[in-house]
Amino acid sequence: MNYIERDEGMAEQEKEILEEEMVEETADEAVEAEDISEEAEESSEETTEETEEVPDGEEPKTWAEKRAAKKQKKEQANADKEKIAELEDKVKRQLAEFENFRNRTEKEKQAMFETGAKSVLEKILPVIDNFERGFSTVEEADKEDAFVQGMQKVYKQMMDELEKIGVKPIEAVGQEFDPNLHNAVMQVESEEFESGIVAQELMKGYMYRDSVVRHSMVGVVS
């Protein structure tokens, strides 16, 4: 092999080395360009997300003002919705309070009425007692007397009207003694009733609806 052929061989090797280096540099530059392109696209996307595209013919400043106004309007609408919801809740609360007040007032009125009714009944009951005492003294032969008949009709009418408004006598004789209904004033002996049973009624008791107007005065078997 002469020097020329050796030099040509060396030149070919150097050429191949240079070509490989150029290929590697080109590949590196391509990768770097691709990275730069991707970064540019990401930056562009971020910029697009942060700021909307300005329409053609629109000044950037004017567009920004419109966006700010739109945002402010949206915030105001949300604030108005919250205010409306707050007012609606307040109205509902006030309506509920008014309903409770009306129910409470109605109960108080009813309680006052019943208290007043009981007070009136307490004054009427002695009149009824006198009617019954008077009837108990009438002789058998006089029961058909016109005067006695007239008084019995008045008594019956009074008792019917009292019954219509919820007044009724308390059952006593033969009933188990109940301190909520009966007032025991004496103890008695009885072959008919067991111990603790009311054997005598000394004064009739009355109830108005579900409350006692006057307790029955009774004698209880010991």
d(CA 69, CA 92): 34
CA–centroid distance for 168 within its chain = 38
Q: Is residue 61 very low, low, confident or very high in pLDDT (cuts 50, 70, 90)? A: low
Tell me the pLDDT tens digit for each residue of 8-29: 444 455 555 555 555 455 545 5
Q: What are 75-126's pLDDT values in tens digits?
A: 777 788 888 888 888 888 888 888 888 888 888 887 787 788 888 898 999 9
Who wins on pLDDT, 95 or 74?
95
Residue 2 has pLDDT above 50, yes or no: no
Enter the tokens of residue 175.
């009933």
The phi-psi region of residue 174 (left if phi > 0; otherwise alpha if psi is between -120 and 50; otherwise beta) is left
Domains of the chain: 167-222 (2.30.22.10)
Q: What tens digit of pLDDT does each residue of 181-203 get?
A: 999 999 988 888 999 999 999 99
Q: Do 176 and 216 touch, CB atoms closer than 8 A?
A: no
Say what the pLDDT of residue 53 is. Answer: 52
Mean pLDDT of the region 60-86: 76
User: Measured between alpha carbons, how far is residue 197 from residues 168, 172, 204 in Å?
Assistant: 21, 9, 16
pLDDT score, position 128: 93
The span from the first CA to the last CA of the chain, in angstroms, equals 154
For residue range 114-169, what is the model confidence (pLDDT) as tens digits? 788 888 898 999 999 999 999 889 888 888 899 989 999 999 999 999 999 899 99
Cβ-based neighbours of 158, under 8 Å, separated by 6 or more: 128, 131
Give per-residue pLDDT as tens, 34-47.
454 444 444 444 44
